[in-house]
Structure 1
Amino acid sequence: MDNILELVDKLKSGKISLENFIKLYEENYILKHNDIHVDTFRNKRLGFDEVIYGRNKTVEQIKDIISLYEQKKLRFFCTGLDNQKLKELKLSFPNLIICEKSGTAKNFSSSKPRFSNSVGVIAAGTSDSKVAYEAIETLNALGIPNKKYIDIGVAGIHRFLHYMDDFKKHSVLIVIAGMEGALPSVVGGIFSQPIIAVPTSVGYGTALSGFTPLLAMLTSCANGITVVNIDNGFGAAMAAFRIIQQIENKNDR
């Protein structure tokens, strides 16, 4: 399969006709099945493969997507899966690697670390751990070194303080919290690295399924915190990936 830029060059130079260009592009870069259109060129554009959000897809839709990926021998990574979906997918695709802790599935082993910069994944409570593990699995899939710190929230701040020296070693910190969402402000007020805050839907009534920590993080007095959506461990990991990729690209120049 030619690189898309090579195909464009061949079209410009007249080595292939417009009709052949369209045919080759559709065959190699557009995977279609019913309402599914798989983006196979995302890695060339952005540096990472398309990731499938499985929460609102049926098992049959996810199976169709996996089949399309395997047909083209492409890597597959899916987030937002409950245990029932994971069980059904594993029955249909025995080689699928599933992780119940994170609600993810993939058809490849985690990449060896390909970056020198690392990410610290900090979760306020064990109730926030599924979001943390989603971030961790995504980082592993991208080949980013990471270390997890779970159940060290502000309700027992001494637990957090115990890891102060460890946090300094990471280039990016992902900070995950539900309830009142205070932990990212604490981290952002102490450490200079990019801080990516993730509100979770954990908490009693007035936590409002994550909106209270979301608003708290958006109005944090610790300057420069980045905030992603509620329970979006995947989005936090992708934000960290973009930052680290730019750091390392700059260092290679």
Structure 2
Amino acid sequence: MDKKETRALLEQVAQGKLTVDEAVLRLKRQPFEDLGFAKIDHHRALRQGVAEVIYGASKTPDQIAAIAAAMLRQGQQTILITRLSPEAAAQVGTQVKLDYREMGRIGIVGALPRPDGLGRIVVASGGTSDMPVAEEAALTAEALGNETLRLYDVGVAGLERLLAHLEELMSARAVIAVAGMEGALASVIGGLVDCPVVAVPTSVGYGAAFGGVAALLSMLNSCASGVSVVNIDNGFGAGYFASMINHREA
């Protein structure tokens, strides 16, 4: 049960449509469920506004499917599974109805929610090679109820490609800038927009890129004041953080 459902429940009590005992019974669900190999935090949405997300890497398909089934039993409408390989997705899909997006390695159980954020999140990638991480960020944002616009292959090597989208960038509530190599895209965008920029360094690049460390250090040293940085290839973390920005009232 998330914050919206809890508020609706309390409103029903206030309106006399539900007794206090009936409401208490609904809220008395165990805060976590022990499956033996996993302890599912069913009250996370109530505490944080976002339900638990399944990290698919290193879990077996049976474990992933069992966790998703337990979440469905507790009434979760949309379940996000990150870092899900195509092979695991094929097996999970035989046990639960799964929408698999291979580019971002994201599995979605249930329907994507209607966007209810305050504005739009723009996801920009430096190059085509950065798209898997960018898609992880974009799909995460969409699964958390955000309108999302993708601007891919708009890196600084051809700056006119980025400048052609100034209107979309300047009207965003938050921008996710995904780039490898030297990671300059985040600083450039940060100097153009008045909203927060979430920078995602990727492991794309030649030898001296050091698997994304060069882009990470560039982004951390950005002279654009509105730039915050997540870990290398952490599209999920960027999408989650941008969603928090887009759902927070002034």
| TM-score of the alignment, normalized to the shorter chain, above 0.5 | yes
* Alignment correspondent of 1:10: none
Aligned positions of 1:204-243 closer than 5 A: 204-243=206-245
Kindly indicate whether the alpha-carbon contact (under 8 Å) linking 2:119 and 2:173 is maintained by their aligned counterparts in 1: yes
Alpha-carbon separation, structure 1, partners of 2:73 and 2:39: 14
The number of residues matched between the two structures is: 232
* Alignment correspondent of 2:94: 91
Secondary structure class of the residue paired with 2:93: helix
Aligned positions of 1:35-54 closer than 5 A: 35-54=37-56
Of residues 149, 153, 156 in structure 1, which corresponds to 2:155?
Answer: 153
Unaligned segments of structure 1, at least 5 residues = 7-14
Kindly indicate whether the alpha-carbon contact (under 8 Å) linking 1:86 and 1:100 is maintained by their aligned counterparts in 2: no
Letter in 1 for 2:182: E
Letter in 2 for 1:193: C
Q: If the length of structure 1 is used for normalisation, what is the TM-score?
A: 0.84
Q: Does 1:82 align with 2:80?
A: no
Alpha-carbon separation, structure 2, partners of 1:37 and 1:82: 23
Of residues 47, 51, 68 in structure 2, which corresponds to 1:66?
Answer: 68
Secondary structure class of the residue paired with 2:113: coil
Letter in 1 for 2:209: A
Q: Cα deviation per residue 1:137-156 (whole Å; 9 max; x = unaligned)? A: 11111111110000010111
Secondary structure class of the residue paired with 1:185: helix
CA deviation after TM superposition for structure 1 residue 235, in Å:
0.7
Q: Does 1:166 align with 2:168?
A: yes
Identity of aligned residues (%): 37
* Alignment correspondent of 2:14: none
Query: After TM superposition, where is structure 1 displaced by more than 3 Å over at least 4 residues in a row?
Result: none
Alpha-carbon separation, structure 2, partners of 1:171 and 1:66: 31
Aligned positions of 1:64-143 closer than 5 A: 64-75=66-77, 76-93=79-96, 95-143=97-145
Letter in 2 for 1:78: I
Alpha-carbon separation, structure 2, partners of 1:113 and 1:77: 16
Alpha-carbon separation, structure 1, partners of 2:146 and 2:217: 29
Alpha-carbon separation, structure 1, partners of 2:194 and 2:118: 18
CA deviation after TM superposition for structure 1 residue 42, in Å:
1.1
Of residues 30, 33, 48 in structure 1, which corresponds to 2:32?
Answer: 30
Q: Cα deviation per residue 1:83-124 (whole Å; 9 max; x = unaligned)? A: 11112211232x211111211112111111112311111001
Letter in 1 for 2:82: T
Q: Cα deviation per residue 1:53-91 (whole Å; 9 max; x = unaligned)? A: 112322232122122223333242111112111122112
Letter in 2 for 1:87: A
Secondary structure class of the residue paired with 2:225: coil
Q: Cα deviation per residue 1:170-227 (whole Å; 9 max; x = unaligned)? A: 1111100011111101111222210100001111222111111111101112123100
Letter in 2 for 1:195: V
Secondary structure class of the residue paired with 1:160: helix
Kindly indicate whether the alpha-carbon contact (under 8 Å) linking 2:195 and 2:226 is maintained by their aligned counterparts in 1: no
